[in-house]
């Protein structure tokens, strides 16, 4: 697994610098404006989000809540569809990560807001945004200016803005990437209230074009590290396996360990519009939540782990794998109702018969069929005035007129005799069902002889005192002569 990137804090307090400049030019209103800027704008630091930044359960719930109040301006072409699509996937999997999206405007609703595309010169918008419609040349910068100005004029806040590459760096030169840096810095200077997110390009090609892309991506990484920029490392994210244990690489021209998209992100259910599978879109969406939390001020240190993202830390969550923010526990057994198979049985089916104690007529003795001969609500298996048991197939097959090869027979009976002054008086009988089970309940206090008569075949019999002190099953089997 990769080592987590240690993030360096920019030491200069940009708040102070901006305020001194504003006061120097005798613009106190502008100085006050900088005082109102979010902390993450006033003290920008190097933030690099890569394959080590996808475990969103590490993000403390408080920072998730902060991100839900942010707005992301997201642009790109086909590869730029991956993260927005993944954000929708993630919300469908876990509503904690709720978000809304709009093309050209600010979406209504709760959660993280994503506005996609750029405003055009005729007051429309386009969602297909290449470099020439974001930063490349004055005309490209004008698209971004027009878009941000439109939102600010309408009272909307844009916290972060990005443009996604789409195979461009396979052929671009180092000087062209330098132009990218210059244009992004121009936008940063014009819109200090917006964090501009830098990106690397997809690593889904090998050979010479893949090598050129690798060089340009390394150029971007180096620039971001040296200049305290915010980087969404698109290429690194997709080069590592889903479990983070292996990076896919190739060699070219004597250079080894050139990152290449991992097969985990190219198989299974595919998202055709984004050139990658659904799982990869969701993975990158998780990284985007991580990045926005970092931008908002989270230092990247894991808080109390909250695996189900319900706002309750795992070490105190009574259902750590199932969201249950209210922590209901009806039976007070320490297991929340949301994950308790027996929410009203503190013993949780202690007899392991598949029936919770609150509905089991013998909660402490296994009786999955819930037999109750006398219908008194107490199962045969734990009723002291009921005699029950089984008759083996061998005994049933030995009954007169039955052949030993017959299937299990039902309809035979077990006789019950009550002992009275030395004389056995038959008081009742119980029919044997197809599974060989018999029972008779509601018996008066006495001693009973329980017999199954099989002509010519010796079987056991039982003396049973009612009420029983030790309830048990009385099972008939063939015995030796």
CATH code, domain carrying 389: 2.60.40
Those residues with Cβ within 8 angstroms of residue 330's Cβ, 6 or more apart along the chain or in another chain = 337, 343, 344
* pLDDT, position 478: 61
Closest CA to 176 of 212, 146, 152: 212
For residue 467, cis peptide bond before it (omega within 30 degrees of 0) = yes
pLDDT tens digits for range 259-292: 999 999 998 887 877 789 999 999 999 999 999 9
Domain range enclosing 443: 380-466
- Find residue 103's DSSP bridge partners: 116
Rounded average pLDDT over 432-459: 81
Give the end of a domain, one of 249, 270, 296: 296
* Residue 262 sits in the same domain as residue 409: no
2 is a domain residue:
no
365 is a domain residue:
no
pLDDT tens digits for range 205-240: 999 999 999 999 999 999 999 999 999 999 999 999
341 is a domain residue:
no
Residue 399, pLDDT above cutoff 60: no
pLDDT tens digits for range 50-92: 999 999 999 998 899 999 999 999 999 999 999 999 999 999 9
How many domains does the chain contain in total? Answer: 2
Q: Report DSSP state, residue 343.
A: T
pLDDT tens digits for range 165-207: 999 999 999 999 999 999 999 999 999 999 999 999 999 999 9
* Residue 52 sits in the same domain as residue 180: yes
Largest CA distance in the chain: 120
Residue 29, pLDDT above cutoff 50: no
Q: Pairing relation of β-strands 47-49 and 99-103?
A: unpaired
330 is a domain residue:
no
Tokens for 290, please give them: 């991580």
Round to whole Å and give the CA distance between 170 and 389: 79
Q: Report DSSP state, residue 29.
A: H
* pLDDT, position 201: 97
Give the end of a domain, one of 296, 318, 340: 296
* pLDDT, position 396: 52
Tokens for 21, please give them: 């400049």
Crossing angle of the two packed helices 14-24 and 28-36, in degrees rounded to 10: 160
* Residue 267 sits in the same domain as residue 410: no
375 is a domain residue:
no
């Amino acid at each position: 697994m990769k080592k987590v990137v240690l993030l360096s804090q920019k030491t200069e307090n940009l708040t102070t610098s901006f305020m001194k400049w504003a006061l120097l030019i005798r613009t106190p209103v502008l100085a006050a404006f900088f005082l109102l800027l979010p902390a993450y704008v006033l003290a920008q630091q190097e933030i690099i989000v890569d394959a080590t930044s996808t475990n969103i359960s590490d993000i403390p719930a408080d920072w998730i809540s902060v991100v839900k109040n942010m707005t992301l301006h997201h642009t790109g072409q086909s590869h730029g569809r991956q993260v927005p699509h993944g954000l929708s996937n993630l919300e469908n999997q876990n509503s904690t990560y709720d978000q809304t999206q709009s093309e050209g405007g600010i979406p209504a609703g709760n959660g993280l807001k994503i506005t996609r595309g750029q405003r055009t010169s005729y007051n429309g918008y386009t969602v297909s945004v290449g470099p020439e419609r974001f930063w490349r040349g004055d005309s490209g910068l004008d698209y971004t200016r027009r878009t941000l100005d439109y939102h600010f004029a309408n009272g909307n806040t844009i916290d972060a803005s990005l443009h996604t590459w789409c195979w461009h760096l396979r052929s671009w030169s180092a000087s062209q990437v330098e132009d990218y840096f210059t244009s992004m810095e121009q936008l940063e200077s014009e819109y200090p209230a917006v964090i501009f997110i830098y990106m690397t390009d997809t690593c889904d090609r090998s050979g010479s074009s893949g090598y050129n892309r690798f060089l340009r991506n390394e150029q971007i990484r180096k620039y971001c590290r040296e200049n305290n920029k915010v980087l969404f490392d698109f290429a690194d994210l997709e080069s590592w396996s889903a479990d983070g244990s292996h990076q896919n690489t190739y060699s070219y021209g004597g250079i080894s360990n050139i990152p290449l998209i991992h097969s985990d992100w190219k198989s299974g259910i595919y998202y055709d519009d984004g050139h990658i599978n659904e799982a990869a879109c969701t993975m990158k969406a998780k990284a985007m939540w991580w990045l926005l939390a970092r931008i908002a001020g989270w230092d990247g240190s894991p808080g109390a782990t909250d695996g189900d993202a319900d706002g309750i830390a795992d070490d105190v969550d009574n259902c750590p794998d199932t969201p249950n923010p209210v922590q209901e526990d009806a039976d007070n057994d320490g297991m929340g109702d949301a994950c308790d198979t027996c929410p009203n049985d503190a013993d949780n089916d202690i007899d392991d018969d598949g029936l919770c104690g609150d509905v089991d007529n013998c909660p402490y003795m296994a009786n999955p069929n819930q037999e109750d001969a006398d219908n008194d609500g107490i199962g045969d298996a734990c009723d002291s005035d009921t005699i029950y048991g089984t008759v083996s197939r061998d005994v049933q097959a030995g009954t007169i007129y039955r052949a030993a090869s017959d299937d299990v027979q039902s309809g035979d009976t077990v006789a019950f005799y009550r002992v009275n002054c030395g004389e056995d008086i038959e008081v009742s009988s119980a029919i044997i069902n197809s599974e060989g089970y018999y029972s008779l309940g509601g018996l008066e206090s006495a001693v009973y002889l329980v017999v199954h008569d099989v002509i010519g075949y010796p079987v056991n019999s039982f003396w049973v005192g009612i009420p029983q002190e030790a309830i048990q099953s009385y099972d008939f089997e063939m015995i030796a002569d």
